[in-house]
């Protein structure tokens, strides 16, 4: 059974555009769970452009809600994450000027730093994931880092589909990485840029256990409503 994680960062983006309280990400987190999401994802970015510390703290304290907190390797962010104690963390690269997370982590460059961070989260029994590019070498490094999960960056794959270009090579890359990770005892997740079509195609890969989707869900909900859109995704990944 594949799971759907819903990223609600852009509820906060919309709220922040007015500088007031509506729409409330806390309400979104509870609502999204009620209508079928298996977990919610929030990204506490260093520039706090959407989710703020108080949102993360309140959302992580909702009983019965599984929260996946995306974080960079910034020591201040790590300290906050350890304090608010989410169920899951996903470590992502972060670059101030990017519009969204542009690629996976550089595991070679950050191996030692990541090893120390992973140890701290595992000690608190927080499921820990690394956001990586679909690269077999990165899966090997991830295995050495004793990670619970990897989330494969599907941005490039999603763009090929949106531009109606040939995606078979990228699909094979994602599939091979998923197989190798699974054989190494690492749970496989997928995320970034996904819509109905790209999710449907990737759902054919049995080893992918979780999809984390944000921008498309929130955007599509303007027209069709969150409930309908989440139900559609649940059907697609079933």
Residues belonging to the active site: 43, 70, 192
Phi-psi region of 98 (alpha: psi -120 to 50; beta: other; left: phi over 0): beta
C-alpha closest to that of 90 among 48, 121, 59: 121
Cα–Cα nearest to 186, from 129, 225, 228: 129
d(CA 74, CA 205): 33
Size of the site for ligand PXP (CB under 6 A): 19
Does residue number 194 form part of the binding site for ligand PXP (CB under 6 A)? yes
25 near ligand PXP, rule: CB under 6 A = no
Contact 43, 88 (CB under 8 A): no
Q: Of these, 23, 25, 134, 191, which contacts ligand PXP (CB under 6 A)?
A: 191
Torsion of CA 39, 44, 48, 53, to 10 degrees: 90
Binding track over 118-157 against ligand PXP, x by CB under 6 A? -------------x-------------------x------
Q: Which is nearer to ligand PXP, 41 or 63 (CB)?
A: 41
* Interface stretch with ligand PXP, choices 111-119, 141-149, 168-176, 207-215 (CB under 6 A): 207-215
Radius of gyration of the chain (CA): 17
Among 2, 15, 33, 43, binds ligand PXP (CB under 6 A): 43
Instruction: Indicate whether 104 belongs to the interface with ligand PXP (CB under 6 A).
Output: no
Closest CA to 208 of 151, 145, 129: 151
Min. distance of Cβ 156 from ligand PXP in angstroms?
Answer: 12
Q: Which is nearer to ligand PXP, 53 or 63 (CB)?
A: 53
Q: Does 106 bind ligand PXP (CB under 6 A)?
A: no
Q: Please tell me the total number of residues recorded for the chain in this structure.
A: 238
Closest alpha carbon to 114 in 135, 98, 95, 93: 93
Q: Which stretch binds ligand PXP (CB under 6 A): 48-56, 174-182, 190-198, 199-207?
A: 190-198
From the list 164, 3, 22, the residue with the least C-alpha distance to 87 is 3
Of positions 7, 72, 128, 199, contacts ligand PXP by CB under 6 A? 7
Question: Which residues form the interface with ligand PXP (CB under 6 A)?
Answer: 7, 9, 43, 70, 90, 92, 100-101, 131, 151, 191-194, 212-216
């Amino acid at each position: 059974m594949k799971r759907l994680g819903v990223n609600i960062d852009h509820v906060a983006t919309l709220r922040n555009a007015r500088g007031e309280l509506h729409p409330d990400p806390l309400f979104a987190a509870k609502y999204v769970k009620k209508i079928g999401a298996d977990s919610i994802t929030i990204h506490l970015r260093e520039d706090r452009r959407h989710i703020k510390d108080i949102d993360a703290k309140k959302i992580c304290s909702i009983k019965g809600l599984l929260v996946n907190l995306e974080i960079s390797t910034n020591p201040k962010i790590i300290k906050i994450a350890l304090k608010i104690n989410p169920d899951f963390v996903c470590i992502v690269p972060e670059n101030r000027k990017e519009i969204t997370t542009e690629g996976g982590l550089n595991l070679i460059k950050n191996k030692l730093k990541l090893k120390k961070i992973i140890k701290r989260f595992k000690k608190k029994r927080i499921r820990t994931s690394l956001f990586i590019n679909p690269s077999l070498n990165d899966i090997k490094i991830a295995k050495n880092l004793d990670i619970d999960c990897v989330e494969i960056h599907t941005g490039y794959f999603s763009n090929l589909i949106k531009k109606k270009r040939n995606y078979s090579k990228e699909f094979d890359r994602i599939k091979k990485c998923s197989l190798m990770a699974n054989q190494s005892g690492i749970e496989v997740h997928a995320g970034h840029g996904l819509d109905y079509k790209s999710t449907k195609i990737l759902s054919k890969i049995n080893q992918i256990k979780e999809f984390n989707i944000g921008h498309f869900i929130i955007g599509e909900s303007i027209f069709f409503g969150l409930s309908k859109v989440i139900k559609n995704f649940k059907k697609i990944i079933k």
